[in-house]
């Protein structure tokens, strides 16, 4: 290489390097949303409000990009701090402030996408509905996707006046009027965070629900009596929420199915300020430690103020997938109902068979030839060889213009929605009878009649643990059994916005005011409604007392008299699937004893997790606290013992029970164990002489010999009046 070329190459390199550096220097930093925790004891007295202090802090960092506001929300109750749009360099500068505690980048989460009151034993003439006046005077705050106020579920007819303690409001849209009333007493919007994350400038200032999620969760928790909701032959044409006498307030945090941490924090912050009694969330974020979990942080603040918080466990269906699992949150899985949607077929030989179908039209298929194969204009029977789904088979039958379909499948989880032609699903045992008839009758084989839009009650087994319901052990803290309980969450009738399609019918989208929906997003509002009823009967009960009553009175035996089973496998479940069991509202009204937990109990639990000062400040919203015990044992209504090869094979627990039943009560201990498991409790008798008296007991769980991966049993206290206070005990061996 010549000297000239050498210098030219060096010059080119330097120019390229300079150009690259210039590009790096000139490229603007990206703005993202951050959640910022501050020590509010360091707020200068010159600032009258926390918000003005927060705004001043942000202004000191630099001017916001494109003139946009940096501050999204300033929080007053759920945490000490704010959420804002910041660059990495601004965050670095902010962290140098003496008042700074912790900062993390916002995460995006998701929504967890009737006959049920009767199934749970609620009756008009007696029990919890009657005693609670249907939840009169209780306010349920729903953190969700909005609500459709015109739905009959939110009709104010027969509702009492709005409680004078209510401080909320009804946020009217600039373009979309939103009426509130004595039933739906408040509705507000919190979507600045998700709008910022999407970089969307389109305003959505209406609390109205355009997804359907918030409307159906709200109607499930506290919808009013609604005549005429008779889709699929619903019993007596009636839909009703669990607490029809309670008031509802909606806090909209989603406009497109996704949610942002800053918005959920703001909604929960406002719900606390407004004065709700119950808070229900059917949504969640990725698994993180409690001190980074915005729902856990906000819920702890709500619990401190006596607000009962209930959350969906999630719809992931597999072990180690439970969401919203902090011990101050009541975490709910989903179970099935004893109801099926059916159709019937009567063959030419007068044999009548019943199968599953959700074909949405009350058509009659009369005097039609039956063909075991595919042919135009006939009722066609199709075997299932496993290579095609029910939906695909029906679509093919519609393509060849079959009149109706009879589909053979033993799998109970097939999707029977969106059937394009009249079709029903039969088990292989029924299919064999039809096949035999079709072969023997040959060309004369016929269907006399097929009937659709029928409902069958008393389906067995029920309840089952829904196949999609998230299960334990909990991925964040397996020492706490989650879910706590299960409640109806499969094919629950609930209100939806009329603009949302229920399903497709041929080339058409079907609309309705009601639809059957599934998910832990449906089961959590059931528990919110029951909690409202219990709050009305026992206004002095703490959130932990309500959860304890729900858990210790739950049942674990289905209507076949066997242990609750897994909907997918039909095998017996365990407390990792269903927690303490299926909710039993009337029993929960009079539990006899409760496992109560006060604020210090939660502080001690967090101390036992080994969090440092920064992490404790973030979750407690306090700069000072005291730890009064070692370990993470907490006065919970369930027990989890974890063992490994190098750990002791005994786990010790201490519990305190509070008498909320008869003044004079004597409780005797009963324990139930599985293979290789021993439970010892001292004392074995608890004697109470007055209401609210407390008694302590110690329990130890031991595994003997070669232990299975999971074992479980129960600690039960039974008194002379047949109160049964049951707690599941789970052993995890690794």
Which residues have a Cβ under 8 Å from the Cβ of 223 and sit 6 or more positions away?
A: 151, 153, 154, 239, 240, 241, 244, 494, 495
Q: Which two tokens stand for residue 448?
A: 């006399």
Q: Where are the alpha helices (DSSP H) in 255-365?
A: 261-274, 294-304
Out of 54, 74, 83, 144, the active site residue is 144
Out of 151, 518, 521, 548, the active site residue is 521
Q: Single out the residue of 211, 302, 316 nearest to residue 253, CA to CA.
A: 211
Q: What is the rounded distance in angstroms from the CA atom of residue 591 to the CA atom of residue 581?
A: 15
Q: Single out the residue of 163, 178, 164 nearest to residue 214, CA to CA.
A: 178
Q: Are 415 and 390 in contact (CB under 8 A)?
A: yes
Q: Are 530 and 242 in contact (CB under 8 A)?
A: yes
Q: How many CA atoms lie within 13 A of 58 on its CB side?
A: 27
Q: DSSP letters along 583-618, please?
A: --HHHHTS-SEE----HHHHHHHHHHTT--HHHHHH
Is 213 annotated as catalytic? Answer: yes
Q: What is the rounded distance in angstroms from the CA atom of residue 407 to the CA atom of residue 410?
A: 10
Is 338 annotated as catalytic? Answer: no
Cα distance from N-terminal residue to C-terminal residue, the chain:
68
Q: What is the rounded distance in angstroms from the CA atom of residue 181 to the CA atom of residue 184?
A: 5
Out of 213, 216, 526, 582, the active site residue is 213
- Burial class from Cβ neighbours inside 10 Å (0-12, 13-18, 19+) for residue 111 reads buried
CA angle 312, 314, 315 (to 5 degrees): 130
Is 665 annotated as catalytic? Answer: no
Q: Single out the residue of 202, 66, 209, 194 nearest to residue 149, CA to CA.
A: 209
Q: Single out the residue of 132, 163, 134, 140 nearest to residue 277, CA to CA.
A: 140
Return the SS3 of 724. strand
Distance of CA 409 to the CA centre of its chain: 30
- Burial class from Cβ neighbours inside 10 Å (0-12, 13-18, 19+) for residue 22 reads exposed
- Burial class from Cβ neighbours inside 10 Å (0-12, 13-18, 19+) for residue 717 reads buried
Q: Are 168 and 249 in contact (CB under 8 A)?
A: yes
Residues annotated as part of the active site: 144, 213, 521
């Amino acid at each position: 290489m010549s000297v000239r070329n050498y210098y030219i190459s060096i010059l080119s390199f330097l120019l390229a390097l300079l150009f690259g550096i210039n590009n790096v220097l000139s490229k603007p930093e990206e703005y993202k949303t951050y959640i910022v925790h501050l020590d509010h004891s360091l707020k200068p007295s010159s600032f009258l409000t926390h918000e003005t202090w927060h705004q001043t802090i942000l202004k000191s960092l630099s001017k916001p990009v494109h003139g946009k506001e940096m501050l999204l929300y300033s929080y007053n109750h759920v945490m000490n701090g704010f959420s804002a749009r910041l660059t990495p360099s601004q965050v670095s500068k902010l962290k140098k402030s003496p008042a700074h505690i912790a900062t993390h980048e916002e995460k995006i989460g998701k929504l967890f996408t009737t006959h049920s009151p009767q199934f749970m034993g609620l009756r008009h003439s007696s029990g919890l509905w009657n005693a609670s006046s249907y939840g009169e005077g209780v306010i349920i705050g729903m953190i969700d996707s909005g609500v459709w106020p015109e739905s009959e579920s939110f009709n104010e007819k027969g509702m009492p006046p709005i409680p004078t303690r209510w401080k909320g409001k009804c946020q009217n849209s600039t373009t979309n009027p939103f009426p509130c009333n004595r039933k739906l007493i408040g509705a507000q919007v919190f979507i600045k965070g998700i709008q910022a994350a999407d970089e969307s400038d389109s305003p959505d200032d209406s609390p109205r629900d355009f997804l359907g999620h918030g409307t159906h969760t709200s109607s499930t928790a506290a919808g009013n009596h609604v005549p005429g909701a008779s889709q699929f032959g619903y019993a007596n044409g009636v839909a009703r929420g669990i607490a029809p006498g309670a008031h509802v307030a909606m806090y909209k945090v989603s406009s497109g199915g996704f949610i942002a941490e800053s918005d959920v924090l703001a909604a929960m912050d406002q719900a606390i300020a407004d004065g709700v009694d119950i808070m229900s969330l059917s949504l969640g974020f990725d698994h993180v430690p409690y001190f980074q979990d915005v729902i856990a942080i906000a819920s702890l603040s709500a619990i401190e103020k006596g607000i009962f918080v209930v959350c969906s466990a999630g719809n992931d269906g597999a072990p180690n997938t439970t969401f919203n699992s902090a011990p101050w949150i009541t975490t709910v899985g989903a179970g099935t109902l004893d109801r099926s949607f059916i159709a019937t077929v009567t063959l030419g030989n007068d044999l009548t068979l019943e199968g599953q179908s959700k074909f949405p039209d009350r058509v009659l298929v009369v005097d039609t030839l039956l063909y075991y194969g595919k042919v135009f204009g006939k009722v066609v029977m199709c075997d299932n060889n496993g290579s095609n789904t029910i939906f695909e088979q029906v679509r093919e039958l519609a393509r060849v213009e079959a009149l109706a379909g009879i589909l053979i499948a033993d799998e109970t989880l097939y999707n029977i929605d969106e059937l394009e032609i009249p079709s029903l699903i039969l088990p292989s045992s029924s299919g064999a009878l039809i096949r035999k008839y079709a072969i023997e009758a040959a060309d004369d084989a016929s269907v006399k009649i097929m009937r659709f839009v029928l409902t069958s009650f008393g389906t067995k087994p029920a309840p089952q643990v829904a196949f999609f319901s998230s299960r334990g052990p909990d991925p964040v803290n397996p020492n706490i059994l989650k879910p706590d309980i299960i409640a109806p969450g499969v094919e629950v009738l609930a209100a939806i916005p009329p603009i949302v399609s229920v399903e497709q019918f041929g080339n058409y989208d079907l609309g309705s005011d009601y639809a059957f929906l599934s998910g832990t997003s449906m089961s959590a509002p059931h528990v919110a409604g029951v909690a409202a009823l219990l709050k009305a009967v026992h206004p002095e009960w703490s959130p932990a007392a309500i959860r304890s009553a729900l858990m210790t009175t739950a049942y674990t035996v289905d209507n076949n008299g066997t242990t609750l089973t897994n909907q997918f496998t039909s095998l017996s479940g365990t407390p990792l699937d269903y927690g303490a069991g299926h909710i039993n509202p009337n029993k929960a009204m009079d539990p006899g004893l409760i496992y109560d937990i006060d604020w210090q109990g939660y502080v001690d639990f967090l101390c036992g997790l080994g969090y440092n000062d920064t992490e404790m400040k973030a979750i407690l919203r306090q700069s000072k606290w005291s730890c009064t015990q070692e370990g993470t044992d907490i006065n919970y209504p369930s027990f989890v013992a974890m063992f490994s090869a190098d750990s002791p094979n005994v786990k010790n627990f201490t519990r305190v029970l509070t008498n909320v039943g008869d003044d004079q009560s004597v409780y005797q201990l009963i324990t139930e164990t599985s293979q290789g498991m021993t439970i010892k409790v001292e004392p074995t008798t608890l004697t109470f002489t007055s209401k609210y008296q407390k008694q302590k007991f110690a329990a130890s769980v031991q595994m003997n010999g070669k232990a299975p991966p999971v074992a479980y049993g129960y600690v039960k206290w039974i008194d002379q009046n047949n109160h049964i206070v049951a707690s599941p005990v789970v052993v995890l061996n690794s």
